[in-house]
Amino acid sequence: MNKEIIFNDLGLIDYQDAWDFQESLFQETITQKGHPDKPQTSNFLLFCEHPHVYTLGKSGSENNLLINNQALAEKGVSFFRTNRGGDITYHGPGQIVGYPILDLENFKLGIRKYIWLLEESIIALLRDFGISASRLDGASGVWLDADQPGKVRKICAIGVRSSRYVTMHGFAFNINTKLEYYNYINPCGFTERGVTSLEKELGSKQDIEKVKIQLKAHLLRLLKNH
């Protein structure tokens, strides 16, 4: 069982380019699993930021995109239908997007526990900043004030794809994100729940590179030692 994880920060990268890179690692890992001469598979963790883009999960509704193609073009926002789970979300500068391409069998994980660990890494990171976060029944991701219907807000969205226990796609964690872009969608299909960022919660712009270091440490710790 190989628990080593190869980390790569791709920086600011177009969504399609990151998706293509993910897909190549994903397919390579699946092929490795089926090769008798290469029983040990590799694991990868990619961090990046994207230019403004809305992505729709395979079970999502395009009705949750609230503007037309002309408005998208005017605002400089791309739109992609993806093969991950979940509904619609936004990616943009100031957001840490994480794409773990892992063979979950290396970590003795099922998909539900894996998603739980992704959420737990964000919850642990937020605890470092004095922010109490949790899960919300019936919804993936990480939420603040989940027990207060009028105040509940999402700070991290999660949507993954898996095949033969190999994962791709992942999470989008709002750090210094321009939250006005969420006004043009029903985030994750919800109409009555808000969205927030680390910057908004703390009242000042955050050093995203330092946050990446802390988040990477939490992720690797939880995945290797769960």
pLDDT tens string 20-73: 999 999 999 999 887 777 678 999 999 999 999 999 998 889 999 999 999 999
Would the pLDDT of 178 be above 80?
yes
Q: What pLDDT shows up at residue 38? A: 67
Beta carbons of 154 and 142 less than 8 angstroms apart: yes
Q: What pLDDT shows up at residue 100? A: 98
Work out the pLDDT band at 190, boundaries 50, 70, 90.
Answer: low
**71-125 pLDDT tens trace:** 999 999 999 999 998 889 999 999 999 999 999 999 999 999 999 999 999 999 9
Tokens of 199: 């910057």
Q: What pLDDT shows up at residue 192? A: 67
Position 5: which residue type? I
Q: What pLDDT shows up at residue 124? A: 98
**201-225 pLDDT tens trace:** 999 999 999 999 999 999 999 999 9
Active centre residues (catalytic): 188
Q: What are the Cα distances from residue 9, in Å, to 33, 85, 193?
A: 25, 23, 31
Would the pLDDT of 168 be above 70?
yes
Q: What pLDDT shows up at residue 191? A: 61
Q: Could you give the domains of the chain?
A: 6-225 (3.30.930.10)
pTM across the whole model: 0.95
Nearest to 184 by CA among 68, 26, 37: 68
Q: Sign of torsion, CA 137 19 83 56?
A: positive
